Structure 1
Amino acid sequence: MPPAQTEKPDSVSVAPEGGARRPRPPTFETLLESVGEFGLYQRALCLGLIGSSTLVCALTYYSQNDWVCNDAWRPFVVHAVFWVGNIVGSWIWGTISDKVGRRPATLASFVVYAAGGALTLAWPSSMAALAAVRFLVGTAHHTISHLPYMLVIEYCGARARVYPLLALIGSWGVGGALLPWIAYLVWDWRIPDAALQPAAPAHPGVLQVSGAEEGRYIPESSSWLMVRGRGEEAATLLRKMAAINGQTLDEEAFGEVLIDMTARDPDKETQSILLVRKHPRLMKNMVLVILLWMVSCLCFYGHTQNTGNLGGSVFSSFSLGATTELLAMTVPFIINARGRKWPMALFFVTSGLCGLLYALLGDAAAV
């Protein structure tokens, strides 16, 4: 259940040293409190996340081309090219979303993803052609779910941002658990691929990206609009959200926040990330975060994409592996209650021990 809405003062006072208490300037978070932190509007957005996170399809192109024995290296190269596309796409879509807006970037990423899937159906004639297609798909692979997710949590209050995350985790787990059984019923991978790929740009959460100024389903980022000097559009979106949630936008607070955000220059040249070397503690923390994230991704994708080698039925193994995603829905509540550091260390150690245990047991674990 979403957190109960509580009455809050319009502003919080702070006491400077030796001085009288003065009101704290309103922020975008203040506006979310006035329009409803997790009302009907935000719940509808979460439903859009569920749809965009279950558009997953399998590919058995490798086995159908007899890439085995001396050619067994080919699938690994194509897969690596896919993730290189993911790295490149992160920069491309990030730049587009900053310059053009979140909604256009979301639509374009879905179209690119669907186009890559459609080109795969054309049966690329060579390994190079397939690698190029998979690179294209890879550029939008994470963007089609992560960008809408970031857009949705912007409209959720700080205490309610766990709910979009749960929607993302749950839909990914359910979609992954169902996918192998769809493949079992429909042996030709091109049939589900042909059915699902056109559904990507036609998803109801994305259809409204190119139109509907009021921003139905997936709205434009209000904070991005305000920074770009499009305050009236941002106000229209926030008033619509407030009306759906049965609340009223704090117009005075909105005016103050708009003045503050409009004063920022969105095109101002930012500082280089290399300047972090001047701050040793910050640099150490940044390196640790990058390494931890890399290890997490390595373990996650290494395990989930290797479930077919667990033994027994490949369909059951893949489905059970995806079902474990649903267990991750408990993690946001754990870290909210116990912090981030120790749960993260515990999860890493547990994952490592499970991997070692399976390696020691070998084939006996598959029985």
Structure 2
Amino acid sequence: MSGIGEILKTVGEFGPFQKWLVLLTLLPCLSVSFHQFCQLFMVPNVPHHCNTSWIRAIGPNLTEEEQLNLTLPRDANGAYEQCSMYSPVDWDLDSIMAYGLNITEKCSSGWVYPSAQPPSLLTEFDLVCDKKDLNDISQSIYMMGLFLGSMIFGPLSDRIGRRPVILFSIFLQGLFGVGIAFVPHFYVYMAFRCVVGASVSGITMTILALATEWIGVSSRPKAVLVSHCCFAIGQMILAGLSYGIRNWRLLEIAGSAPIFAFFFCIQVLPESARWLVTRGRIEEAKKLLKKAASINKRTIPQGLLEQLKPETQTKSGSILDLFRKKHLLKVTLIMSCAWFVNSLVYYGLSLNVTNFGLDIYLTQLAFGAVEIPARLGCIFLLQWFGRKKTQAVLLVLSGLVCLIIIGIPEGEQSLPNTRGQPLEQRYTETQLFPC
């Protein structure tokens, strides 16, 4: 071995140097949570109906309510149809009022939304009716970006270093995050979101690697989990930002632009000394280790530094090695299953807050708030019970809670909320723009 582990113990496992390094990870973690969930607030449920302004040429003096009654069919509950209209005819107004219209078609001239509604992805790109699935598709494309980012930036950080990958990922996130606010088409929006997703993977994976390679083994759970608390804080900040900024383009700028402030830390952000040693860059590693020791008010014996040698070149492994060895195969399958279940449940709930029947801003705030004590509590649970028992118990507990949720009668609400009411009920309450 190179002796880097012994030197890092001399430098200090979690001194001021490592604490500053953890602090540097906070701003990127805040931005990551914004991009994970911001689309929930950009596609609100807003009232809409087909644009039937064609009848205005026949009856320019019709009121809004009269126009809707003549041109929009109603469903079985008496609410206006949102995705169909009566086919335009060349009759006069008296004939239309006397005989009515009975041939329907899909909306052919777009949709009408409340004039007071702030711009949203739904209203700008008409993500309704036949195009409503584009909202879910764009979330899937963002997740695909996370996958591609992990495949690209993980190996890249091993090849060129942690620091350049972190800075490049942050630059990508800021550039394409702000760029989303100026996209002219929803397909461009989805492409930009994919790039942002890739940058999010680059940031989270590489920052985690950089921090753990500088921090001692005993302090890693505490440092990583405290850093992850910023993800939860970011969720809470997102709730406040989206409540105060209803214009989706301005919200995207407000959530993306602050990441550029991280570039003021370029001179402070260190490379991983452990990675430098593995690449044979011993002198650079020594300088960083001396700097870290100086900040931690420690002294590294010169003889110990002189023992620092490049690691002996060994045969590089591949992903297939995880499946060739019996023990590695077992661990790989267990971890893959645990990650799959965790991601499915976590994102299944987090990305479904609009359907909880409660105020979306308070729900998002609550989701972020409960994560803070949960993450902090993991520090003590891991130290007291270890990884294996803690993981097993929490997986069983979360599964039981999900089963209990299934047993709750549908439609039960603790608070009355218009957002959570059925569409037909909201149509009855507001005749002109039922929502």
Compute the TM-score of the two structures, normalised by the length of structure 2: 0.71
Contact conserved, 1:169 with 1:329, CA < 8 A, in 2? no
- Where in structure 2 are the equivalents of 1:1-367 lying within 5 Å? 27-55=3-31, 56-57=34-35, 58-59=38-39, 60=42, 62-64=121-123, 65-125=125-185, 127-203=186-262, 206-209=263-266, 212=267, 216=268, 218-256=269-307, 258-259=308-309, 262-265=310-313, 270-326=316-372, 327-361=374-408, 362-364=410-412, 366-367=414-415
2:11/2:299 contact within 8 Å kept = yes
Equivalent pair of 2:28/2:170 in contact (CA under 8 Å): no
Question: 2:343 is matched by which residue type in structure 1?
Answer: C
Deviation of 1:264 (Å)? 3.2
Quickly say closer, same or farther: Cα 1:54–1:236, change in 2 above 3 A: same
- Matched residue count: 329
State the secondary structure of the residue aligned to 2:184.
coil
Alpha-carbon separation, structure 2, partners of 1:193 and 1:310? 24
RMSD of aligned alpha carbons = 2.1
- Counterpart-to-counterpart distance in 1, 2:385 and 2:13: 23
Q: Unaligned 5+ residue runs, structure 1?
A: 1-24
C-alpha contact 1:304 1:322 (8 A) present in aligned 2: no
Contact 1:110 1:200 in 2 (8 A): yes
1:366 is displaced (CA, Å) by 4.4
Distance in 2, matches of 1:253 and 1:365, equals 65
Residue 276 of structure 1: CA displacement?
A: 4.2
Contact 1:311 1:317 in 2 (8 A): no
**Post-superposition CA distance 1:28-67 (Å, at most 9, x none):** 2211221111111111111112222112252315423231
Query: How far does residue 269 in structure 1 lie from its aligned partner after superposition?
Result: 6.1
The residue aligned with 1:18 is: none
User: Residues of 1 paired with 2:321 and 2:277: CA distance?
Assistant: 29
Corresponding residue number in structure 1 for 2:111 = none
How far is the alpha carbon of 1:207 from its aligned partner? 3.6
Deviation string 1:255-290 (CA, Å, 9 cap, x unpaired) is 32x22xx1434xx76233324444334313211211
Rounded to whole Å, the distance in 1 between the matches of 2:323 and 2:230 is 40
1:365 CA drift (Å): 5.3
Secondary structure (helix, strand or coil) at the match of 1:219 reads coil
Separation in structure 2 between the aligned mates of residue 279 and residue 230 of structure 1, nearest angstrom:
32
Structure 2: gaps of 5 or more residues: 43-119, 416-435
Q: Read off the aligned partner of 2:170 and give its amino acid letter.
A: F
Query: 2: distance between equivalents of 1:303 and 1:227?
Result: 41
CA distance, structure 2, for counterparts of residue 45 and residue 194 of structure 1: 27
Partners of 1:182 and 1:29 lie apart in 2 by 43
| Cα displacement (A) at 1:105 | 0.6
TM-aligned CA deviation for residue 219 of structure 1:
0.1
> Match of 2:381, as an amino acid?
I
CA displacement, residues 164-208 of structure 1 (integer Å, 9 cap, x when unaligned): 2133222111121121122111211322322342322331xx444
Conserved? CA contact 2:2–2:277, under 8 Å: no
The answer to whether the 8 A contact 2:277-2:285 is kept is yes
Deviations 1:126-176 (A, max 9, x none): x43222111111111132233223212211111111232133222111121
CA distance in structure 1 between the aligned counterparts of 2:404 and 2:126, rounded to whole angstroms: 33
Q: Indicate the larger mover: 186-195 or 111-120.
A: 186-195
Q: Report sequence identity in percent.
A: 26
More deviation, 240-249/169-178: 169-178
Report the TM-score when normalising by structure 1.
0.83
* TM-superposed deviation, 1:96: 2.2
SS at match of 2:226: helix
Alpha-carbon separation, structure 2, partners of 1:278 and 1:155? 31
Q: Cα 1:97–1:276, aligned 2, differ >3 Å: closer, same or farther?
A: closer
